[in-house]
Amino acid sequence: MANLTLLQAINSALREEMRRDERVIVLGEDVGKNGGVFRATEGLFDEFGAERSVDTPLSESGIIGMSIGMAMYGLRPVPEIQFMDFIYPAFDQIVSEAAKMRYRSGGQYTVPMVIRTPYGGGIRGGHYHSQSAEAYFAHTPGLKVVIPSNPYDAKGLLISAIRDEDPVIFMEPKRLYRSLKGEVPETDYTVPIGKASITRAGKDISVFAYGAMIPICLEAAKKAEEHDIDVEVVDLRSLVPLDIKTIINSVKKTGRAVVVYEAPKTGGFGAEIAAIIAEKAIEYLEGPVLRVAGLDTPFPYTFEHIYMPDSRRVFEAIEKVINF
């Protein structure tokens, strides 16, 4: 196995799928010769040329609109939105066209494309380079929303997404791009979309998270262990489809739950997790379901460390539920 960063794992997935299937095309701002703002597509232009590693104008709506057309007529486009904060000009194309094409055409057309986009804080990017917009897209039927937290999952999930027949929003936690490494198979493999992973087994309380919050939760679990609290950390991996069975089974085992996400608290996806637990496992609960999330403000630059959940805030929520 290779020891790769999350960024290298994504590059490996793109390269292998482009070699395997000539229909796979990457496109976006600076993804070609420059290799992308984070270098996720580095080297693809040299190997596959300008027709399959396409530099586009600075027009998110145009990038996604063009990708929809490509996907409907036989290609497998993987458009990159440079930062998730810039996805909003393409919002109508995504939610009104890509997400609804299979339904409105009675299955005659599908839109097999993967919209890759770096999301979240942790790099001091300020309010135009730090947003987490997963809830907008999870609310839209017809889209799949996938968020890896480690190199192994990043490669396997991206390959699954590229081979999927429906549009996928593939959100990449940019604070983890180069900050962690992991073993990644050099052979072909996939990670199934819609299946959560129990990153750390425990018996006292369940902590649910995804993306960049997984390392934070694992750190909090270590702190909790020092206080004789055994924490189970569940990496959701995909929000749509959501692995409800794993969520409920975990809560049935521990009787307690904390949900962690870095988007603003109100209307965040963590509220959906809490509601599902209340509907399907309330008789097993021994305390409230708490959310640890970002604040209901624009993402700050100077106070990024206050806005974002950290292991201290997660541990305090764990303690509160345990002592309820």
CB atoms under 10 Å from CB of 305, counted, come to 11
CA 134 to chain centre: 8
Inter-residue contact 153 to 131 (CB < 8 Å): no
Rounded to 5 degrees, what are φ and ψ at 37? Answer: -65, -30
CA–CA gap between residue 307 and residue 297 (Å, rounded): 9
**Alpha helices, H only, the chain:** 6-20, 44-48, 60-72, 91-92, 101-104, 134-138, 151-163, 213-225, 244-254, 269-281, 304-307, 311-322
Q: What angle do CA 212, 215, 221 make, to 5 degrees?
A: 135
Inter-residue contact 235 to 218 (CB < 8 Å): no
Q: Which of 129, 139, 227, 305 is catalytic?
A: 129
Q: Report which of 263, 249, 322 is spatially closest to residue 290, judged by C-alpha positions.
A: 322
Strand partners, 129: none
CA 242 to chain centre: 12
> Active-site residue 305, yes or no?
no
CA–CA gap between residue 58 and residue 41 (Å, rounded): 17
CA–CA gap between residue 287 and residue 251 (Å, rounded): 11
Catalytic residues: 129
